Amino acid sequence: MRTEVDVDEFRSMAKARIRRQCEKCEGEDPKCLCALHFQRESEGYDACVPKDFWHVEDMEIEHNVEAFETKIIQYCKNFRRVRFRGYGLFLRGDNGVGKTTFVSYVLMRAIRFGWTAYYTTLPKLDYDIKLGFRDDEARQRLEWYLGADFVAIDEVAKERFKGGAGDSYTRMQVERILKQRYDDSAPVILATNGTLEDIGEAYGKSITSVISGKYLQVTLDEGDQRERARERMEKALLK
């Protein structure tokens, strides 16, 4: 979660770093690539999308390509219908199979089409919710973020493994968020290592019913794409 001050400061620094230092236009040409670069970074920061994925639209998808092309791309092509009918996404798979990449792609594409978006993880959401106990401004800011057109929650159901049942207050708040957005026909994108049954154990059968009826389910195949990233890093550094 970013404060308004955080966002304003980042935009100011990004403008100086990207636009004003552009050798081609020095920030004067709105059609220059530096303008797109600045827009992506400032909007990605504002939406709390992980920095590695601010330019995800330029990335080459090397793993789970079929799922990306047949489900993620198609979901994005139907943004207007998705937004107004509240159709969500439920991505499941092991670590490193591309869940966060796909989530970030959807959010950055949504932003590009004029929608608002917010990315968080379950542990981060837990922290931000509890921060609001003692900080009214933080509580209001989180509620504002959770009112975005597209809300993504990554690492869902991880809390159920902390000490058994997990934090009951966090579970209750996640259930509230999912039900409220379901009732408001506002889409949520969920990413998890668990199964739909795990979600049911964590949040109850009513939530699994919501997911079954209004979420496009995407199961990603095994294969750690982070290994490919490591290989590219070593090739770049050790060649």
Domain span including residue 181: 52-238
Q: Could you report how far apart the first and last alpha carbons of the chain are, in Å? A: 39
One domain, residues 17 and 83? no
Burial of 14 (0-12, 13-18, 19+ CB in 10 A): middle
- What pLDDT, on the 0 to 100 scale, is given for residue 224? 61
Characterize the bridge pairing of strands 150-154 and 117-121. Answer: parallel
The domain total for the chain is: 2
**CB of 79 closer than 8 Å to CB of 88:** no
- What pLDDT, on the 0 to 100 scale, is given for residue 40? 93
- What pLDDT, on the 0 to 100 scale, is given for residue 171? 82
One domain, residues 173 and 99? yes
Of 46, 62, 82, the position where a domain reaches its end is 46
Alpha-carbon torsion 19, 21, 23, 26, what sign?
positive
The CA-atom distances, in angstroms, between 194 and each of 62, 75, 100, 148 are 23, 22, 14, 25
Tens of pLDDT along the chain (239 residues) come to 999 999 999 999 999 999 988 988 988 898 899 999 999 999 999 999 999 999 999 999 988 999 999 999 999 999 999 999 999 999 999 888 899 999 999 999 999 999 999 999 999 999 999 999 999 999 999 999 999 999 999 998 765 544 444 467 888 888 899 999 999 999 999 999 988 888 888 777 888 888 888 999 999 987 666 666 666 666 667 76
Cα distance between residue 6 and residue 20, in whole Å: 20
One domain, residues 70 and 151? yes
One domain, residues 159 and 185? yes
- What pLDDT, on the 0 to 100 scale, is given for residue 238? 72
Integer Rg of the chain from CA = 19
- What pLDDT, on the 0 to 100 scale, is given for residue 166? 47
- What pLDDT, on the 0 to 100 scale, is given for residue 153? 96
One domain, residues 169 and 198? yes
CATH number at residue 204: 3.40.50.300
One domain, residues 103 and 134? yes
One domain, residues 42 and 69? no
- What pLDDT, on the 0 to 100 scale, is given for residue 161? 43
